[in-house]
Structure 1
Amino acid sequence: MAESIGDRIGRVRRRRGMTQEQLAEASGVSVATIRKLERNDRESARMGTLRQLAQALGVKTTDLMQTGPIEPPIAPETDPAGILAIRRVITPARGLGRVALADDSADAPTLTGLRASVREGNRLYQGDDYAATIGALPSVLTEAAQLAELADGDARLAALAVQAQVYQLAGSTLIHLRHDDLAYQALSRAIDLAEQSGNQVLAASAVVSLCWLLLRQRRFDEAEQVAVETADVIEPSFRHSSTGHLGTWGWLLLRGSAAAVRNNRSSEADEMIRQAKAAAVLVGREVIDYHEYWTTFGPTTVAMKEVENAMVQREYGKALALSTQVTVPRRSTSNNRNRHLLDLAAAHTEQRDYARAVEILTGIKNAAPEWLRYQRYARDITTTLVTRRKRGLSPQLVALADFLAVEL
């Protein structure tokens, strides 16, 4: 029988010679929560709780996490029509021989046309229009595959590079919509295609997205290792490398730092932030390139991720102090800009400035509703606000709770 999270916590606690009360005092987690976990009354815990316990016990967060077999769901989920269309392209049904890519009567694709399609797909994704992005992806993926198959020589290398960008767009969209396994296949394909095209920086850009997926799956050891090893492979010349190269390298370090801080490896996280800052200083400003390397990087991006690290460490005052150095760019992805704003809302909630937290969340809801509705972090913050403000829910908080399906 697999060891549960509670079993593991109890085993490590006893090995450290700590009582449940001593662990509660050292970690800031209530004795009641520790008891429920160790009795297996609760089968899981929030990541922040696990990190606090791991820090108090002197182990990595992943050392406390579930590693045994997981029971299958009662019934498999059915893909929505748009996701099923993408699945058919990424994982085609096949027997022996060649898989047909598209109707033979279709016009032959061109590199210029495909690049225009990629730009439009990126525009839709960055604008939070996920329905339109999902609708466009099957045809763009097919178009890219056709072009790569028809081209040869240098033209084929160029086609493979653009095909890699399409698969990275597909993978990133699928991560956001929480279709993780299909996202992994898309991003793995993007890495392979970029390497075949001879463009290591483009391949590393897809690794940045893959590390985001690993973080979402709580695979912190792997995320840090992959990020660091890839950063070593593409380490730039700080004097001669392009801003896209510097940005991709910097993002790998930010992903590695995010994994390390969640895994109770604060020193390693701080060092990677320091290196990313050095790259950001050379870039000098926020550089946005959604076409070639999927890059938004600069001093503001690093500053926002430093705030995120402080929030993971539950240093709420520090997070708010660091946020004063952040000027949130107008042209930034929802995942960067609004993720930072969620951190600020969470920090204000923990500092009991509930009105400011609701104000920030309402602002995100008004500006990026399609992005917000997929954010579990937003639901967690709103749940905390509702719980603490039971007797005085403002109309704005009620509207947020309704929008995010939080029970009142």
Structure 2
Amino acid sequence: MTESIGDRIGRVRRRRGMTQEQLAEASGVSVATIRKLERNDRDSARMSTLRQLAQALGVRTTDLMQTGPIAPPVAPETDPAGILAVRRVITPARGLGRVVLADDTAEAPTLTGLRASLREGNRLYQGDNYAATVAALPSLLTEAAQLADLSDGDAWLAALKVQAQAYQLAGSTLIHLRHDDLAYQALSRAIDLAEQSGNQILAASAVVSLCWLLLRQRRFDEAEQVAVATADEIEPSFRHSTAGHLGTWGWLLLRASAAAVRNNRSPEAADLTRQAKAAAVLVGRDVIDYHEYWTTFGPTTVAMKEVENAMIQREFGKALALSAQVVMPRRSTSNNRNRHLLDLAAAHSEQRDYAQAVEILTGIKRAAPEWLRYQRYARDITVTLVARRKRDLSPQLVQLADFLSVEV
């Protein structure tokens, strides 16, 4: 019989010689929650709750997480509009002899035209226009494959590079839309193509995106190991490396740090962040190179991730203090910027500054509504705000709740 999360918590707790009340006091998780988990009244828990329990029990967060078989869904999953066309390109139908490819385009694609299409796709993605990005992906991926098939020599290597970038765009978009398995296939293909083209930094950039996916799937051990191993492979020469190289290396360290802190490995997380900060100091300012390595990296990026790590460790006052070091990016649709703002909203909520939390969330909704719509973190914060302000809901909080489908 598969051991549940609650079974595992109870087993480790008893091995430590702790009562439920002692575990509650040590972790900050209520006795009622611990009892519900151990009785299997609840079959899941928030990641922050699992981390608190793991820290109190002296184990990794992943040690408490479900590892048994996953029950089949109640009903078949359906693809939203546009995703099926992307799925057909990334996972084409095939028989015994060959893959059934999509129809050829009317005209043979050119490298110049494909690069222009890729830039437009990146612009749509960075602008949070996910519907338009999804609509553009099938033809972009198909044309990239056709160009590689038609090319040879240096032109073939250049075509492979663009094809890898197109698959990374697809993978990143699919992560946002929570199509994890399809995103994994796209990013795995991006890594293969980039390595085949001889561009190791481009391949490592796709690994950065893949580690983001692993974090979303709570695969913390794997995310940390893959990120550190890849960082070791591309370790830069600090005197001669480009900003793109330093940025990709720095992002790998930040992904490893994010995995470590979520897995109750705070000293390792702090050390990895220090290394990333050293790279950021050399870069000097946040460099944006979305069309090359999907890299926005510099001191501001690292400062925002330090705030995120403090939030994971539930050090809310420290998170707000660290936020004073962050120079906010101007671009309102910056994913890093808006993820950082969610951390600030959560910190203010935990410090009982509810009005400020609502103001921050409302600002994100105004600036990047399509991005916010897909953020479970934003919904969790709003659920907490509604519960704590049930008798005094402001119009702004009601609007946020409606937008994020939170009951009031």
TM-score range, shorter chain: over 0.9
**Are 2:270 and 1:273 aligned?**
no
Q: Which residue of 1 aligns with 2:136?
A: 136
Q: CA deviation at 1:333?
A: 5.4
**Are 2:329 and 1:329 aligned?**
yes
For residues 25-174 of structure 1, the aligned pairs below 5 Å read 25-99=25-99, 101-104=101-104, 106-174=106-174
CA contact (8 A) 1:280 1:298 kept: yes
Question: TM-score, with normalisation over the residues of structure 2?
Answer: 0.99
Q: Which residue of 1 aligns with 2:232?
A: 232
CA contact (8 A) 1:334 1:371 kept: no
1:81 alignment partner, SS class: coil
Which AA in structure 2 matches 1:305?
K
Change (3 A) 1:102 1:15: closer
1:288 alignment partner, SS class: strand
Cα deviation code 1:216-256 (max 9, x no counterpart): 00000000000000000000000000000000000000000
Q: CA deviation at 1:330?
A: 1.1
Which AA in structure 2 matches 1:148?
A
Q: Which residue of 1 aligns with 2:316?
A: 316
Which AA in structure 2 matches 1:407?
E
Q: CA deviation at 1:334?
A: 3.1
Q: CA deviation at 1:64?
A: 0.2
Q: CA deviation at 1:128?
A: 0.2
Q: Which residue of 2 aligns with 1:264?
A: 264
Cα deviation code 1:340-378 (max 9, x no counterpart): 000000000000000000000000000000000000000
2:288 alignment partner, SS class: strand
In 1, Cα distance between equivalents of 2:356 and 2:95: 58
In 2, Cα distance between equivalents of 1:104 and 1:381: 47
2:25 alignment partner, SS class: helix
CA contact (8 A) 1:296 1:332 kept: no
In 2, Cα distance between equivalents of 1:105 and 1:170: 19
Cα deviation code 1:15-59 (max 9, x no counterpart): 111111111111011111111111111111100000000000000
Q: Which residue of 1 aligns with 2:241?
A: 241
For residues 290-305 of structure 1, the aligned pairs below 5 Å read 290-305=290-305
In 2, Cα distance between equivalents of 1:354 and 1:205: 38
Q: Which residue of 1 aligns with 2:374?
A: 374
Q: Which residue of 1 aligns with 2:2?
A: 2
Q: CA deviation at 1:99?
A: 3.6
In 2, Cα distance between equivalents of 1:104 and 1:127: 29
Q: Which residue of 1 aligns with 2:351?
A: 351
The root-mean-square deviation of aligned C-alpha atoms, in Å, is: 1.0
Cα deviation code 1:128-162 (max 9, x no counterpart): 00000000000000010000110001110110011
Change (3 A) 1:149 1:356: same
CA contact (8 A) 2:303 2:325 kept: yes
2:82 alignment partner, SS class: helix
Which AA in structure 2 matches 1:62?
T
Q: CA deviation at 1:97?
A: 3.4
Cα deviation code 1:271-294 (max 9, x no counterpart): 000000000000000100010100
Which AA in structure 2 matches 1:218?
R
Q: CA deviation at 1:332?
A: 7.1
**Are 2:249 and 1:252 aligned?**
no
Q: Which residue of 2 aligns with 1:407?
A: 407
Question: TM-score, with normalisation over the residues of structure 1?
Answer: 0.99
In 2, Cα distance between equivalents of 1:128 and 1:75: 29
1:296 alignment partner, SS class: strand
In 2, Cα distance between equivalents of 1:7 and 1:165: 44
Instruction: Figure out how many residues of one structure are paired with residues of the other and give that number.
Output: 408
In 1, Cα distance between equivalents of 2:104 and 2:398: 54
Cα deviation code 1:95-146 (max 9, x no counterpart): 1334454444610101111111110000000000000000000000001000
Q: Which residue of 2 aligns with 1:201?
A: 201
Q: CA deviation at 1:183?
A: 0.2
Cα deviation code 1:297-343 (max 9, x no counterpart): 00000000000000000000000000000011113753201000000
Which AA in structure 2 matches 1:42?
R
In 1, Cα distance between equivalents of 2:100 and 2:114: 19
For residues 380-395 of structure 1, the aligned pairs below 5 Å read 380-395=380-395
Cα deviation code 1:148-182 (max 9, x no counterpart): 11000111011001100000000000000000000
In 2, Cα distance between equivalents of 1:78 and 1:28: 39
Cα deviation code 1:174-197 (max 9, x no counterpart): 000000000000000000000000
In 2, Cα distance between equivalents of 1:66 and 1:225: 20
Change (3 A) 1:104 1:144: closer
- In the TM superposition, structure 1's runs of 4+ consecutive aligned residues that sit over 6 Å from their partners are none
- Which stretch has the larger CA shift, 265-274 or 71-80? 71-80
Change (3 A) 1:382 1:110: same
Which AA in structure 2 matches 1:181?
D
In 1, Cα distance between equivalents of 2:255 and 2:225: 10
Instruction: Among all aligned residue pairs of Structure 1 and Structure 2, give the percentage whose two residues are the same amino acid.
Output: 89
Unmatched 5+ stretches in structure 2: none
Change (3 A) 1:400 1:332: closer
In 2, Cα distance between equivalents of 1:159 and 1:323: 42
CA contact (8 A) 2:89 2:102 kept: no
